[in-house]
Amino acid sequence: MARDLFSVLLRIALCLTLLLPTLTAQVERESTQPIDTIWQPNVSATTIGNHIAQGYRITDLEIYDPASPRFSVTLVQNSGSYHVTGWWWYYNVTSTELRSYLAQNQARPIDVESYLDSSGTRRFAVVMVSNTGAATKDWTLFLGSSGTTIGNFLGANGYRIVDVDGYTSGSARVYAAIAIRNAGADLRSWWWYLGISRAQVSTFLNQNNARLVDLDPVGDGTYDVVMNQSSGVWGYYFDQSSSSLTQLVNQYGRRIVDIERVTSSTFDVILNNNLDGRGTRISQILNNGTTGYLGAYLRRLDGTTSTELVKLNEGIRFEPASTLKTLPHAYAMYLCSIGATSLAANGSVPLGTTGSCPNGGPPVVTDTLETSLRHMMENSDNARTKALVDTFGVAALNDHASTVLSMPRTRINHVFGCGGPTENTTTLEDLGALHDYMADGNLPNFRAPFHELMINSRTYPRVGTLDIEAIITAEAASEGVSGAVLEAFRGNITYAAKGGNYDWPSVPRYHGSYFGYISIPFVIAGRVVWQQYAVGTFFNDAIDKTVNFNAITAAYCEMLREELRFALRTWVGAVIGSNTVFGTACAGSTGTPTTTVNGTPGIGGTVSYTTSGGPASMPAVFNLGTSRTNWAGFSLPLELGFIGAQGCRLLTDPMIGIPMTTNSQGRVFAILPMPVDVGALGQEFHVQFLLLDPPANALGLVTTRGVTTRVGIML
């Protein structure tokens, strides 16, 4: 029998009026809300059950091997907008059993697959969800129906297809298909095509400004497809191996919504975006015209825990080149912390190289460990790196990575700069764990030198005019942070990074990566609190080095934009504390006293005021006031010559006078705690010492310079 009228082309376009406004949209195929997701090819029902026990639910099921049976499956965490109160899955069921389960569970199907069991009997696998209460949808299920039958029903009743699986019954092409009423929250412009080529799939997607909902291979090189009006970020791919599909999912941050097995080892898939706004932006930057495989990673270091903010290929092993020099650098700090060596320890370093590959030959210099580390991290010196690795031992470094730093996929396999034959490996997650360890207070005396000996400029990495400093400038302008406040923000950032690359131009094949640490200051309740982050990007096996480096550089910087913006917002209206010496002192019998001030004039801080050069062991008064312009009707400063202290001046109103005594060296000091109430931000007070010095003048009094203290945020 010839295929029905729809075997060449069936196109149904339905745009109906809003009928059921309370219905919820179908998240399984359409949602781009980020969710934890799993996909696996060729797995047993037991494996799927284990995932379900961990709180996941199936959204797409494909029969991989009906004899076992084994499945290809995609699952999502049953939470958030993906949460359903009840759901079920069945396989090896007849059409009658399938419909019975639907009735029994008061459910509607979201995925149905038809197959022949080992005896040649038609069987079905189905995933269904509860269809009660607010989750209720008007739906229908076709089993073994022709395209004509389905098309006539849809056109007459206002339904649209959400899942279709074609198969041969006798000599006819028939379908298992799920349809829902095209109304309310489920209203879509949509199209259904049968038996079209890959080229036609692309043509109709562009023509309709649509996205795929279901992609079903016919087996003769053509496809039955369902497409809806375009929404969100998505993609589709043909002939992907399981490994390449995993790479696509991880690199682009996608969720598989439909997977179809084509051969024993390849799949066709539809992918939805599975990233938040920042992740989507980073994915688009990272994958714009690039080649090879790439990754990006941002991790907030929260003390004993960490939060991963951007994850793209974060667990994929890659060749990091010189970026992995961070491992021997961290190990050196560990050895210093246990007293096995010191940063001042001397060692012999052969500097001979052949190209970029160190050969262990002359010339030989003597360096301190600190000097060698600085050359390795700031200048990427391969000869000094080899000397350090040889001293520490490759086995010890690899063991430290796996057992102490929680870097199980990191290995040094060859000499840095020599490029193989076996690649060095790490992952973005592993490098994040290294920086987490160093930031977490494990080596408190060596955290600062660990960062200081790395590349510290925030202009690194850079593409065009884009670097971290440029992002700070742009976001500060947007948030209205400028002047001294912006400079204080900049001055409280700590940044440290390392990059690397390997080139094989003859192949061509290029590797490149950056990984770093940044501590960003936030103002909370008048105090600066630092939030630490690990950030990194990489590409491997690229054929265009420049494009790929530009992509990972831009992604690296852009990942920090939101964090810098959020931090800068907390600095809006911030007050920077200050201590300003003003006025002049008058000469006494021991010369003119000098006044110095130390400490932090921030909320909860402490400031000390010291006067030196006064008479020894004599009474003094520490005056504290709120005005340096007037007091009791007198203008300040008030020259005291009219009472016998010629040339001496009262600089502040004496609101509070604290009696003191100079020491045997003629020194006197006062320590003042700053307010802890954020309401004191921006307040100013003024201090001055008055020293009893009978030989100095008729009044027997000497005055010092004053100090104005402005209470600001605690830096």
Give a three-class secondary structure readout of 358-406.
ECCCCCEEEEEHHHHHHHHHHCCCHHHHHHHHHHHCHHHHHHHHHHCCC
* % of the chain surpassing 90 pLDDT: 91
Q: What is the pLDDT of residues 459-469, one digit of tens each?
A: 999 999 999 99
Q: Is residue 277 part of a domain?
A: no
Mean pLDDT of 102-128: 96
Q: What is the pLDDT of residues 491-529, one digit of tens each?
A: 999 999 999 999 987 788 999 999 999 999 999 999 999
E strand spans, 223-304: 223-229, 234-240, 254-261, 267-273, 293-302
Q: Is residue 36 part of a domain?
A: no
Chain centroid to CA 661:
57
Mean pLDDT of 91-117: 97
Mean pLDDT of 435-441: 94
Q: Is the pLDDT of residue 6 over 80?
A: no
Q: Is residue 175 part of a domain?
A: no
* % of the chain surpassing 70 pLDDT: 97
Note whether 317 and 489 are within 8 A (CB).
no
Mean pLDDT of 521-550: 96
Task: Provide the pLDDT confidence category of residue 302 given band limits of 50, 70 and 90.
Answer: confident
Q: Is the pLDDT of residue 13 over 70?
A: no
Of 49-53, 104-108, 170-174, 519-523, give the lowest mean pLDDT range.
Answer: 170-174
Mean pLDDT of 264-289: 95
Check whether residue 352 and residue 494 sit in a common domain: yes
Average pLDDT, rounded, for the chain: 94
Check whether residue 551 and residue 588 sit in a common domain: no
Beta bridge partners of residue 517, listed in sequence order: 496, 534
pLDDT at 505: 77
Task: Provide the pLDDT confidence category of residue 256 given band limits of 50, 70 and 90.
Answer: very high
Mean pLDDT of 142-160: 96
Check whether residue 559 and residue 611 sit in a common domain: no
Considering only CA atoms, which of 559, 618, 291 is closest in space to residue 432? 559
Check whether residue 535 and residue 588 sit in a common domain: no
Check whether residue 554 and residue 665 sit in a common domain: no
Task: Provide the pLDDT confidence category of residue 632 given band limits of 50, 70 and 90.
Answer: very high
User: What HEC string does 459-472 produce?
Assistant: CCCCECCECHHHHH
- End-to-end C-alpha distance for the chain, whole angstroms: 83
Q: What is the pLDDT of residues 392-431, one digit of tens each?
A: 999 999 999 999 999 999 999 999 999 888 999 999 999 9
Check whether residue 321 and residue 376 sit in a common domain: yes
Of 11-20, 94-103, 636-645, give the lowest mean pLDDT range.
Answer: 11-20
Task: Enter the DSSP assignment of 645.
Answer: -
pLDDT at 19: 32
Choose one of 538, 571, 604: the last residue of a domain.
571
Q: Is the whole-model pTM more than 0.85?
A: yes
pLDDT at 23: 35
Check whether residue 380 and residue 525 sit in a common domain: yes
Rounded to whole angstroms, the Cα distance separating 162 from 190 reads 10
Rounded to whole angstroms, the Cα distance separating 667 from 62 reads 86
Residue indicated by tokens 């309370």:
22
Q: Is the pLDDT of residue 487 over 70?
A: yes
Pairing of strands 668-673, 190-196: unpaired
The CA angle 643-646-647, to the nearest 5 degrees, is 130
Q: Is the pLDDT of residue 15 over 50?
A: no
Q: Is residue 33 part of a domain?
A: no
Residue 49 phi, psi dihedral angles, 5° rounding: -60, -35
Mean pLDDT of 357-371: 96
Rounded to whole angstroms, the Cα distance separating 436 from 447 reads 11
Residue 533 neighbours by CB distance under 10 Å: 23
Residue indicated by tokens 């004899």:
67
Q: Is 77 exposed, middle or buried (0-12, 13-18, 19+ CB in 10 A)?
A: middle
Residue 27 phi, psi dihedral angles, 5° rounding: -80, -25
Q: Is residue 479 part of a domain?
A: yes
Q: Is the pLDDT of residue 204 over 80?
A: yes
Residue 353's SS3 state is strand
Q: Is the pLDDT of residue 662 over 70?
A: yes
Mean pLDDT of 66-92: 95
CATH number of the domain that residue 586 is part of: 2.60.40
Q: Is the pLDDT of residue 18 over 90?
A: no
pLDDT at 482: 97
- CA distances to 14, 191, 287, 620 from 17, rounded to whole Å, are 10, 17, 39, 89
Q: Is the pLDDT of residue 473 over 80?
A: yes
Domain count, the chain: 2
Q: Is the pLDDT of residue 17 over 50?
A: no
CATH number of the domain that residue 443 is part of: 3.40.710.10
Q: Is the pLDDT of residue 20 over 90?
A: no
Choose one of 556, 571, 586: the last residue of a domain.
571
Check whether residue 477 and residue 618 sit in a common domain: no
Mean pLDDT of 92-96: 97
Task: Enter the DSSP assignment of 236.
Answer: E
- CA distances to 90, 377, 467 from 532, rounded to whole Å, are 47, 20, 18
551 Cβ contact list (under 8 Å, min separation 6): 285, 286, 287, 288, 289, 290, 294, 539
pLDDT at 25: 59
Q: Is residue 637 part of a domain?
A: yes
Note whether 147 and 122 are within 8 A (CB).
no
Mean pLDDT of 570-582: 96
Check whether residue 548 and residue 584 sit in a common domain: no
**581-608: b or e for each residue (b if 16 or more CB lie within 10 Å)?**
eebebbebbbeebebebebbbbbebebe
Tokens of 113: 């697959």
Considering only CA atoms, which of 559, 551, 530, 552 is closest in space to residue 471? 559
Residue 685 phi, psi dihedral angles, 5° rounding: -140, 165
- CA distances to 250, 313, 377, 409 from 247, rounded to whole Å, are 5, 7, 31, 17
Q: Is residue 625 part of a domain?
A: yes
Q: Is the pLDDT of residue 4 over 60?
A: no
Considering only CA atoms, which of 160, 173, 226 is closest in space to residue 6? 173
Q: Is the pLDDT of residue 10 over 70?
A: no
Q: Is the pLDDT of residue 7 over 50?
A: no
Considering only CA atoms, which of 62, 128, 57 is closest in space to residue 97? 128
Note whether 612 and 593 are within 8 A (CB).
yes
Question: Residue 606 is part of which domain span?
Answer: 578-710
Tokens of 242: 């399981």
Check whether residue 385 and residue 330 sit in a common domain: yes
Tokens of 25: 């949209």
Rounded to whole angstroms, the Cα distance separating 195 from 326 reads 55
pLDDT at 507: 81
Rounded to whole angstroms, the Cα distance separating 30 from 52 reads 22
Q: Is residue 154 part of a domain?
A: no
pLDDT at 144: 96
Considering only CA atoms, which of 348, 336, 317, 503 is closest in space to residue 413? 317
Choose one of 549, 571, 593: the last residue of a domain.
571
**49-65: b or e for each residue (b if 16 or more CB lie within 10 Å)?**
eebeeeebbbbbbbbbe
Check whether residue 548 and residue 586 sit in a common domain: no
Check whether residue 585 and residue 565 sit in a common domain: no
Chain centroid to CA 469:
18
Q: Is the pLDDT of residue 588 over 50?
A: yes
The C-alpha R_g of the chain, in whole angstroms, comes to 36
